[in-house]
Amino acid sequence: MQGTAIARPNIALIKYWGKRDVALNLPAVGSISITLRELHTRMQVVFDRMLETDALTVNDVPDEKMLPRLSACLDLVAGVDRPGARITSQCNFPIAAGLASSASSFAALTVAAAHAAGKSLTTAELAGLAGRASGSAARSLLGGFVELVNTDDGISVDTLCDAADWPLTVVVAVTETGPKPVSSTEAMEISRKTSPFYSTWVEQQPADLDAARAAIEDRDFQALAHAAEHNCLKMHSIMWASRPPTVYWNAATIRCLETIRSLQARDLGVFFTIDAGPQVKAVCVPGDAAEVEAALRATPGVEGTMVSALGPGAGLEPDA
């Protein structure tokens, strides 16, 4: 009655923003992401009939705040009449700061819980379950370049290209380590209900997905850079134009964009993307990553950097 799994965060290049069904947590648009290798969340789930309630520790500290979302995910995977669960999460990067810790956490939790419950599920079934907890989590089930596709009754995930088939490096410039002021779920709903640009965003997403898919197929870094930067800025402009506005950026976020623009002017292979937080993710051609990392680290307001190659999808670990 136990299972342990590791999953890694993913960074969306063509973003998921907005829900078509809030109760089922279904995205309004498809998305394309890359899974990272060096950052990870390790989740252990132990079902125990002796436990009256679930218990969670995150990096060895009891955590009551996150527990209800994790318990709800376990109910979906193992059924509401399941035993109580002891959940142990170890995460090697900052949580809830726009680094997709929810994606790696819920992908790992879904895989670990299915194993603990003795269920052998397909990737599509796991994606449906992980996606109910966190829209982006379904993408962390797979490695490399991953597309999340909206289907008639849910979602599915596919690998577009394995990590080894187009090696890229991601440099994360951390500009703030505190939790974000507005959750992505809340901000998405404000965008959907109030932003004058929201319907255009949904309408244009298939074209952005096509452009990114073709760029990945051709291994065309410049084409991917154009598609990803455009899609990222479009997503943030929806939020800025909503009422109330959501602005996840800080001054250092913008300085990082200036740094990346100056590296691009020197023909380095790099582009940026930014999610629901102030961190800047620079996607680089591996040979240029050291220079990109040094330039971002030296950018005023950057508290630190993390460097990662692209990596594999979620997987079970031997039980401890």
Residues at the contact surface with ligand PMV, assessed by CB under 6 A: 12, 15-17, 31, 102, 134-136, 184-185, 275-276
Residue 90 CB, nearest approach to ligand PMV (Å): 20
17/93 with CB nearer ligand PMV: 17
Instruction: Please list the residues that pair with 36 across neighbouring strands.
Output: 310
18/269 with CB nearer ligand PMV: 18
Residue 131 CB, nearest approach to ligand PMV (Å): 9
- Tokens 């440099």: give the residue: 171
Residue 72: how many other CB atoms lie within 10 Å: 12
Residue 186 CB, nearest approach to ligand PMV (Å): 10
Residue 294: how many other CB atoms lie within 10 Å: 12
Residue 15 CB, nearest approach to ligand PMV (Å): 4
- Tokens 């039980």: give the residue: 319
54/208 with CB nearer ligand PMV: 208
Residue spans of beta strands (DSSP E) within 97-210: 145-150, 155-161, 169-174
Residue 69 CB, nearest approach to ligand PMV (Å): 11
Query: Is cis: bond before 312, omega within 30 of 0?
Result: no
135/269 with CB nearer ligand PMV: 135
- Which residue in 129, 143, 116, 126 sits closest to 8, CA to CA? 143
35/268 with CB nearer ligand PMV: 35
In terms of Cβ atoms closer than 10 Å to its own Cβ (0-12, 13-18, 19+), residue 140 is buried
Tell me the C-alpha distance between 230 and 278, whole Å. Answer: 17
- Which residue in 199, 208, 272 sits closest to 18, CA to CA? 199
9/269 with CB nearer ligand PMV: 9
DSSP state of 54: -
Residue 16 CB, nearest approach to ligand PMV (Å): 3
